[in-house]
A and B are shown apart, each in its own frame.
Chain A
Amino acid sequence: MTARMDRRFAALAAEGRPALVTYFMGGDPDYASSLAIMKALPKAGSDIIELGMPFSDPMADGPAIQVAGQRSLKGGQTLSKTIQMARDFRLEDADTPIVLMGYYNPIYIYGVDRFIEDALEAGIDGLIVVDLPPEMDDELCIPALSRGINFIRLATPTTDAKRLPAVLENTSGFVYYVSMNGITGSALPDPSLIGGAVRRIKDHTALPVCVGFGVKTAEQARAIGASADGVVVGSAIVNQIASSLTADGAATEATVAGVEALVRSLALGVRGARVAAAE
C-alpha cells in the first residue's frame, strides 16, 4: 500500500543520503503557477512533495504559511482543486510521493470516504493533518490506513517517552519530527539537540524520521540531514514564492524560477549531509 513512499526511501537509503521534502501551498498564488511549481520541484532535487491544503484558520502555522493560504483561497483554491493538482502532476511524474498537508475541517466537509477515494485515485501517497492527534484516529487515520494511504504523524519535543508509542502506533510512511515547540517558520533550534531527538524516535520505530519546522538554508538542511532520514523545508519556499509576486500578489517569471533555484541549493545541502557527517 505504501509502495511509492517505501520505494523512494529505499532508493535514498541505497544512495546513502536523506530525503529533501518540500512543502508548498496548493494554489498559491493561482492554480497554474502552483502546478508549475509542483512540477519543477522533483526536477530541482525534491524527493517528496508536501502539497499544502489551504485553511482559513491555520492554528499551527506562522505568518508565511498563513498568508500563503490566504493568497491561495483568494485565488479560488478548494480541496477539490488541490486533489486535481495532484492528479495533473501524476500525468507526468509517477514516482515522486505526494503528501497532502493541512487541517481537518475541509476534509471533514468534503466527506472522509469521498476524500480518501479521490485522493487514492489522484495518486496521493500520504496525509499530514495537523489537528488530528492519535486520540482522534477514528476520524481519518484508521479509514485512510485501511484503504492504503499513509498517515504521517507529527512527533514534537513535548511527545515524551510515555506518549511516543501511541503517536507511532498508527503512523506509516515516515514520522515527521517537529524540531521545536512552536509554529511553522520559527527559528531553528540547535541541530545537535535534534539529532538526539531523532535517535530517541528511531529507538521506537523502523520508519524513516524526517525533521521540519525552521529549516531555511542549504547549510541547515545539511546539518539536520546528518542525523535525519529527511529534511522538510516549507516556510522558506513559501517566502520565496511571496517575494517573487507583484504588489497585487500575481505570479511573475521569477516565481517558478526562484523556487527552482532555492530547491536546487537545498538539494545540494542534503546531498552533502552524510559526507559532512562522516568527516
Chain B
Amino acid sequence: MNQSPFLNSFRGGPDEDGRFGIYGGRFVAETLMPLILELQDKWNEAKTDPEFQKELADLGTHYIGRPSPLYFAERLTEHLGGAKIYFKREELNHTGSHKINNCIGQILLAKRMGKTRIIAETGAGQHGVASATVAARFGLPCVVYMGATDVERQAPNVFRMKLLGAEVKPVTAGHGTLKDAMNEALRDWVTNVEDTYYLIGTAAGPHPYPEMVRDFQAVIGREAREQILKAEGRLPDVVIAAVGGGSNAIGIFHPFLDDKDVRIVGVEAGGKGLDGDEHCASITAGSPGVLHGNRTYLLQDGDGQIKEGHSISAGLDYPGIGPEHSWLNDIGRAEYVPIMDHEALEAFQLLTRIEGIIPALEPSHALAEVIKRAPTMGKEEIILMNLSGRGDKDIFTVGKILGMEL
C-alpha cells in the first residue's frame, strides 16, 4: 500500500494525481492531456536537476534581484500600536511583483521542452508584464490574453507589455476579466499545442501547475523564514497574504505550513460585500466545483454556472482559487477572510503616507487585515505580510475613485 505523501506534514502534497485532498486534478480536454503529462515529466526532471536549479538561482539573484528584503515597518507598527509588522518586499523585484519568480522558472522549463511560443493570461497585468519580460529575455514570441475590462483599467501595464514586444489580445467574452482571459488562453493552447507553452500565472489550473507555480514562488517563504529568524530570533505569529488565484500567498505560506504555531491567513477580495455577487471571496462565500483544469472553491450558481465576481483589484478578480488553498482551508491549517474594496483602498493610502511605499491594490487587501489584527495583538507578537506588488499600476484606478485628476 502506498504511504500518504501527506503523512506528518502539510507540505507533502499534491499526490501523484495532482490532488490536495479532493481538490486539484487534471480536468482538461484530451488534446491537452499528452502535453500536460509531458510537462509533468519535464518538471519532475527539472526539479532535481542541479543545472536547472543553478540557472534558476542565478537568474533569481542577478535578474530578479533576490533575495527581496524583509522590512520592519516601524512607523506602521507604532501607528497601529500592537504587533510588530514585517513586510516581505516582493514589490521590489524586477517588474514590480512576485510574478517574475514563477515566470523565470516556467520559461526555463519551456526552453527545456523545446517550445517556441509563449502564451499567458493576465488580470492586473503583473503576470502579463512578467511573462512578456521573460519572453523578451529569452527571445521567444509572447501572446498575452487580457480581459477587455482589465485592458482598460490597467492601461500602464498594457503599454509595458507592448514595449516588451508582446502581443496583447483583449478578450471581450464574458465580463472581460481574468477568468475569460484564461478561457481564451486555453483555447489558444488547444489550437497551438505543438509549439506553444502556456505560462500560467497562478497556483491553479491542471496538475502540475499548482505544484509547480507554488514551488517557484516558495522562494518567498523560504527567504522570509530565514530573514525573520535572523531579525527576531523566532518565527512570526501570523503570516498574511492576499489571495486571488493565490500564488503569492502559497509562496509565502508553504515554507511555514509545518510550523504549527504560525497562524496562516489568506485574504480574499470581499469587493462590495459578500451579500450580493460583487466580490471574489471564493472560499468564504463559494463552494467546490471544477473550472480551468482543477477542482477548487468557486463562485457559482446552483446550476454550476460560474459567476463573474468583482474586485477593485484586477489581480484578485477571479472566481476561483488555487486548489491547495481550498485544501488548507478544509483541513483548518489556514484561515481565509474577506476584505472589502473600501478597506483595501484605505490601507493603500495609509501605507503610502506612513511608510512611503505605494502598494498594489492586491496586497492592500492583506494590509487591511494587518491593520485590523495588529492592534488586537501584543507588542511582542509578530505579523509577516507579503507585500507582493507595487501600486504604480493602480494609481489611475485609485485616482478615479478618489476623484483626482491625473
A169: interface (CB < 8 Å): no
With both beta carbons as reference points, the residue of chain B lying nearest to A160 in the complex is identified as: B34
**Considering the chains assembled together, what is the distance between the CA atoms of A110 and B289 in angstroms?**
11
Hey, which chain B residues are within 8 Å of A155, CB to CB?
Answer: 30
**Structural contact, A136 and B30, CB atoms closer than 8 A:** no
Known: A154-B29, A178-B31. A183 touches B302 (CB 8 A): no
Hey, which chain A residues are within 8 Å of B190, CB to CB?
Answer: 59-60, 181-183
Can you offer 24 A-B residue contacts whose CB atoms are under 8 A? A56-B306, A57-B183, A57-B291, A57-B292, A60-B31, A78-B303, A105-B289, A106-B304, A107-B304, A108-B289, A109-B300, A131-B28, A131-B29, A131-B290, A131-B293, A133-B26, A133-B28, A154-B31, A156-B29, A156-B31, A158-B30, A158-B34, A181-B194, A182-B191
Known: A73-B305, A106-B303. A156 touches B289 (CB 8 A): no
**Considering the chains assembled together, what is the distance between the CA atoms of A158 and B38 in angstroms?**
12
**Structural contact, A163 and B33, CB atoms closer than 8 A:** yes
Task: Indicate the member of B173, B179, B290 with the most A CB atoms within 10 Å.
Answer: B290
Hey, which chain A residues are within 8 Å of B27, CB to CB?
Answer: 104, 131-133, 136
**Structural contact, B30 and A105, CB atoms closer than 8 A:** no
Hey, which chain A residues are within 8 Å of B173, CB to CB?
Answer: 66
A31: interface (CB < 8 Å): no
**Considering the chains assembled together, what is the distance between the CA atoms of A60 and B193 in angstroms?**
13
A248: interface (CB < 8 Å): no
**Considering the chains assembled together, what is the distance between the CA atoms of A133 and B28 in angstroms?**
7
**Structural contact, B31 and A59, CB atoms closer than 8 A:** no
**Considering the chains assembled together, what is the distance between the CA atoms of A121 and B24 in angstroms?**
32
A130: interface (CB < 8 Å): yes
With both beta carbons as reference points, the residue of chain B lying nearest to A58 in the complex is identified as: B183
Hey, which chain A residues are within 8 Å of B352, CB to CB?
Answer: none
**Structural contact, A136 and B304, CB atoms closer than 8 A:** no
Measuring CB to CB, which residues of chain A are less than 8 angstroms from any residue of chain B? 54-62, 66, 73, 78-80, 103-110, 130-136, 153-160, 163, 167, 178, 181-183, 186
Q: Which of B276-303 contact A (CB under 8 A)?
A: 289-293, 295, 298, 300, 302-303
**Structural contact, A159 and B34, CB atoms closer than 8 A:** yes
Known: A56-B305, A56-B306. A136 touches B25 (CB 8 A): yes
**Closest beta carbon of chain B to A251's beta carbon, Å:** 22
> Per-residue CB proximity of B140-164 to A under 8 Å, as 1/0?
0000000000000000000000000
Q: Which of B179, B186, B192 contacts A181 (CB 8 A)?
A: B192
Q: Which of B29, B30, B305 contacts A55 (CB 8 A)?
A: B305
Hey, which chain B residues are within 8 Å of A183, CB to CB?
Answer: 187, 190-191
**Closest beta carbon of chain A to B94's beta carbon, Å:** 32
**Considering the chains assembled together, what is the distance between the CA atoms of A50 and B173 in angstroms?**
24
With both beta carbons as reference points, the residue of chain A lying nearest to B17 in the complex is identified as: A135
B174: interface (CB < 8 Å): yes
**Structural contact, A178 and B194, CB atoms closer than 8 A:** no
**Closest beta carbon of chain B to A40's beta carbon, Å:** 26
Q: Which of B25, B30, B291, B304 contacts A156 (CB 8 A)?
A: B30
**Structural contact, B187 and A60, CB atoms closer than 8 A:** yes
B35: interface (CB < 8 Å): yes
With both beta carbons as reference points, the residue of chain B lying nearest to A182 in the complex is identified as: B191
Known: A59-B186, A183-B191. A130 touches B303 (CB 8 A): no
**Considering the chains assembled together, what is the distance between the CA atoms of A62 and B183 in angstroms?**
11
**Structural contact, B28 and A105, CB atoms closer than 8 A:** no
With both beta carbons as reference points, the residue of chain A lying nearest to B35 in the complex is identified as: A158
**Structural contact, B187 and A59, CB atoms closer than 8 A:** yes
**Closest beta carbon of chain A to B215's beta carbon, Å:** 21
Given contacts A73-B305, A104-B27, A159-B30, 7 further A-B contacts (CB under 8 A): A59-B190, A105-B290, A108-B304, A131-B27, A156-B31, A160-B34, A178-B30
**Closest beta carbon of chain B to A100's beta carbon, Å:** 14
**Structural contact, B31 and A79, CB atoms closer than 8 A:** no
With both beta carbons as reference points, the residue of chain B lying nearest to A107 in the complex is identified as: B304
> Per-residue CB proximity of B22-63 to A under 8 Å, as 1/0?
000111111111110000000000000000000000000000
**Closest beta carbon of chain B to A273's beta carbon, Å:** 26
Q: Which of A57, A61, A135 contacts B306 (CB 8 A)?
A: A57
With both beta carbons as reference points, the residue of chain B lying nearest to A166 in the complex is identified as: B33
Q: Which of B25, B30, B292, B303 contacts A59 (CB 8 A)?
A: B292
With both beta carbons as reference points, the residue of chain B lying nearest to A78 in the complex is identified as: B303
**Considering the chains assembled together, what is the distance between the CA atoms of A87 and B402 in angstroms?**
56
**Structural contact, A109 and B26, CB atoms closer than 8 A:** no
Known: A104-B290, A135-B26, A136-B26. A110 touches B304 (CB 8 A): yes
Hey, which chain A residues are within 8 Å of B193, CB to CB?
Answer: 158, 181
**Closest beta carbon of chain A to B400's beta carbon, Å:** 29
Task: Indicate the member of A59, A157, A158, A167 with the most B CB atoms within 10 Å.
Answer: A59
**Structural contact, A109 and B304, CB atoms closer than 8 A:** yes
**Considering the chains assembled together, what is the distance between the CA atoms of A151 and B209 in angstroms?**
28
**Structural contact, A135 and B292, CB atoms closer than 8 A:** no
With both beta carbons as reference points, the residue of chain B lying nearest to A103 in the complex is identified as: B290
**Considering the chains assembled together, what is the distance between the CA atoms of A211 and B147 in angstroms?**
33
**Closest beta carbon of chain A to B74's beta carbon, Å:** 46
**Considering the chains assembled together, what is the distance between the CA atoms of A132 and B26 in angstroms?**
8
> Per-residue CB proximity of B166-189 to A under 8 Å, as 1/0?
000000011000010001001100
Task: Indicate the member of A62, A160, A181 with the most B CB atoms within 10 Å.
Answer: A181
Hey, which chain A residues are within 8 Å of B186, CB to CB?
Answer: 59-60
